[in-house]
Structure formats: structure tokens, C-alpha cells
Structure 1
């Protein structure tokens, strides 16, 4: 599985999305705090009540090294799910990144930690720790169904979810898509004449 995850990490989410038929991606509002961040790994899922992040700590305790914490905070953005301390804690534990349908704070500190964090927004208010929520259960995160163990891949374009049973087929299709795109670019972008020929064919001229 580690080899598969590394191969997926090298692929753009656009190719993976194409391999999935345009399905299984999170709402486009979920983006990385730094455009260059990429993340890939198995999902450790977290379901939270708005403004309550105690179960995130439980998820960190249960997650395996290389997991991606996928956090359903219902899109609530007034209170932050975490700040730079919790993100650094996740990094020390070997977690690959966080995907949050909610907000974070201490954004400059998080960027300095340099652990990929994908979220809906940024705020200043903290959450409490009442303990509501569940860990490693099926969730809906930013419009996408996520099960524990599904593979998560994220980059500047967004985040896709690969159901466990589809991983091998999706990897093969995404790799094929990237190869075909490279071949098309080499052929079509070689000259003005080649570009015009491509356009004429595409337009049925």
C-alpha cells in the first residue's frame, strides 16, 4: 500500500478525478493553506460537533503513521478545529496531513510547521473540548463520502477520495491519463501547424 500511495502522490488530482469519472471529490472550497502542498494517505476519519475538537485528539492517538486525518466539522467556520500546536503535534506523530471541512487558526504558524492542511477557511476563535464526536466511522466531508481506509489525495486543485475497492483500477487509469496527456502535448504543441490541425479536428473542420 505504501508503494501505491507514493505513486498516487506523484499524480495530479485532476487525473485521479478523471479516473473516478469526476466523482468522489470534496467541495472546491477545501484548499491547501499553501498552494504547493500535496497530501496522500489512508483516511482516518473524524466526526465533530461544531466548535468541539476533543475527538481530533482521539483521532491523533488512534491514527497510524502516514494516515490523513479527514475531519467532518460540518463546514462550520466560526471556531477553529485546530491551530499550529495541534498541527505540529500531528506532524510529530507521523500523520501525513489534515483535511478539514471547517476552519483553522494560527495560519502563519501552521505554514511554518509545513504539514499539509486543507480546510474551508481561517478564523481566530478556538474550539472547546466537550468530547462530542466519533473516530474512524463513515463520514460525509465537504459533500463526499469517506470511509476509514479510503485513500485521500490532495493538491492545489482540491481533494479526491478513492474508495478502497477502486484503488488499483483508479491508479492505472490515472497513470494512463497522464501518459496520454504528455503524448498529446508533445504532438499538438510542437508547432503552430500541429496546434491548428488539432483544433480543426476537434472542431470537425
Structure 2
């Protein structure tokens, strides 16, 4: 190359969901959000609440701020903290690289001081006991004491593939003990409307189950109209 590229590329002015849009997902389980999106939306199950949620109540809702670090790198995450807004969820993309910590208790403490709602990474973390003391909701792929690099290059405020999902800065993140769900920015209002219907249907079905219902299929009707066949 003729010139060395910058070690950081930062986009600060990406579209963000409104406070009302964030609040619409505040108490909604991730499973309901996935149902509202045709059964999809969750990151891979390898990204889970730290310690499987034993010692920290892991629940967070807010806009994604994507830090595309690359393998074993954290420079973009450090820069994301600098431009973050209270309520953001920092998404630290390390391209699925393992055997290195993407963050520790001190970085979690700084994120909490800044008002960050949660931290999600497709890599590992370290200093579990101290992270528990900080109390920041965290989702990661496990624990590892190895140190990352902070030399770049990195991109902040753009998009990255994390846990099998393309996440853009400004997308809605809903995360709980079951996993991390991504709602694309352009679909937020549509999903909010669909979630309301899912909540109603879940409440109706729950009432039926408590009332003694023990099946979801009308097997006799399915046999009668040919959708099911008995072969023995």
C-alpha cells in the first residue's frame, strides 16, 4: 500500500431508536421478540449470559453500538466507549476469535460508569468474580485470562457479523438469560406491533394450559383432511 490506513474509523451519527421504541421492548422476553420476527433474530447460542446468569441478572434493552475489533483486538471497543450514549449496548465483534478476553472487570466498570446498558461479544471475557461485583449485564462465549491487543485497525458505529447475525449500529438489542436478539432498525415499529399480538396469544395459551389443555394439534381433523396419515 502507498499509505497506511487509519487504525480507527468512527461513525458517530447513525440513526438510533427513540426512547419510546426502547421502552416498548423493556419487559418483553427474547422468545416473544423472535416469535414476532417469524421465529428468528437471535444470535448463536454460544453467546450467552456470563456464568449462565447465575450471579448477574442479565437483562438489557437498547441500541447497538457496534465495535468491529477483529480477532484478539479491543481498540474499537475502547473507542466505542468514548462515543457511547447512556443506554447503549456495546457489541464487541471479534470475528468469533477464541482464547482471548474481549474485556475485563475494569472495562465493565467504565461501561457501567458511562451508563452502558450491556455488553455483548462473540469472544470471551476475564475476571469473572470482579465482573459480578460490577454488575453490568454481559453476554459472551466463555472465560479466558489471555490479554487482547489494542493496536487496531477497528471500526466503530458501522456493522459487523456477530453470532451469525448482521448487527448494525442503531439496531435494537433485546438480551436476557435466553440469549441476544437483534431487531434491525428499519423493522423496529413493525416488530413492536407484532410483539403486542404475540403477548396476547401467549397470555391466551397460558390460560388454556393452566385450565387443563394438553395438546396443540387436532390430529383427527388433520387425518380427515389429508394433512396427516396413519400408517400402522
Shift of residue 168, structure 1, vs aligned partner: 1.0
Q: Distance in 2 between matches of 1:166 and 1:13?
A: 16
Instruction: Name the structure where helix makes up a greater proportion of residues.
Output: 1
Which residue number corresponds to residue 203 of structure 2? 182
Residue of structure 2 in register with 1:68 after alignment: 89
- SS of 2:32's equivalent in the other structure is helix
Higher fraction of strand:
1
Aligned partner of 1:30 in structure 2 is: 47
Q: Deviations over 1:44-78 (max 9, x none)?
A: 10111222212211000011111110111111121
Deviations 1:55-111 (A, max 9, x none): 211000011111110111111121101100000000101111111010100011111
Aligned residue among 142, 147, 169 for 2:163: 142
Q: Secondary structure at the match of 1:82?
A: coil
TM-score of the superposed pair, with normalisation by structure 2: 0.82
1:165 pairs with 2:180: no
In the alignment, the residues of structure 1 paired with residue 91 and residue 68 of structure 2 have an alpha-carbon distance, to the nearest angstrom, of 9
Structure 1 unaligned residues grouped into runs of 5+: none
Does 2:225 correspond to 1:204? no
Larger radius of gyration: 2
TM-score in terms of structure 1 length: 0.92
Unaligned 5+ residue runs, structure 2?
Answer: 1-17, 221-232
Q: Does 1:121 align with 2:142?
A: yes
Correspondent of 1:97 among 107, 115, 118: 118
Q: What is the CA deviation profile of residues 131-162 of structure 1, one whole-angstrom value per residue up to 9, with x for unaligned ones? A: 32111112111110111100001111111111
Which runs of structure 2 are paired with 1:21-60 in the superposition (5 Å)? 21-33=38-50, 34-35=52-53, 36-60=57-81
How many residue pairs match? The answer is: 199
Residue matched to 2:30? 13
